[in-house]
Amino acid sequence: MTRDEFNAFCKDIGPTTHVVQWGNADVWKIGGKVFAIGGWADDRDAFTFKVSDMAFEILPEMPGLRPAPYLASRGMKWIQDYADPGLGDAELRNHLTASYDLVAAGLTKKKRAELGI
């Protein structure tokens, strides 16, 4: 997945907002909370997303995936797809959708209602 494809997918996933911050990273949010980040790798596009506890144990064993720099070191369950082979496009889309759902579930009932989710 290219960074343009990543941005297009995140834009269409639901009610989201996009900002560019942290050294030109594409940061996608729902209700003001981050669910996906595109950027931060030197040799290829890198994609960072929130995962479940189980996925956080399993995914770093796959080539091209690691606990997300900065976020995981602070106890957060985030994974970064940073090197080849990494995830295929369909798998990455599934993880981005799951990340969106995890973050949305953590929003207040009032905020979810405001967003129509």
Q: What angle do CA 20, 49, 112 make, to 5 degrees?
A: 80
Using the Cα atoms of residue 24, residue 28, residue 34 and residue 38 in order, give the sign of their dihedral.
negative
Instruction: Give the global pTM.
Output: 0.92
Using the Cα atoms of residue 80, residue 51, residue 22 and residue 18 in order, give the sign of their dihedral.
positive
Question: Do 94 and 100 touch, CB atoms closer than 8 A?
Answer: no
Look at residue 61 and tell me if it is in a domain: yes
DSSP letter assigned to residue 68: P
- Average pLDDT over every residue of 47-61: 96
> Residue 4 pLDDT > 80, yes or no?
yes
> Residue 43 pLDDT > 70, yes or no?
no
- Between residues 71 and 93, which one has the greater pLDDT? 93
- Average pLDDT over every residue of 4-25: 93
Look at residue 115 and tell me if it is in a domain: no
CA separation for the pair 43, 30 (Å, rounded): 28
Look at residue 117 and tell me if it is in a domain: no
In the chain, the number of structural domains is 1
Look at residue 110 and tell me if it is in a domain: no
pLDDT for 24: 86
Look at residue 87 and tell me if it is in a domain: yes
Kindly report the CATH number assigned to the domain that includes residue 17: 3.90.1150.30
Look at residue 34 and tell me if it is in a domain: yes
Look at residue 36 and tell me if it is in a domain: yes
Look at residue 116 and tell me if it is in a domain: no
| Domain range for 53 | 3-105
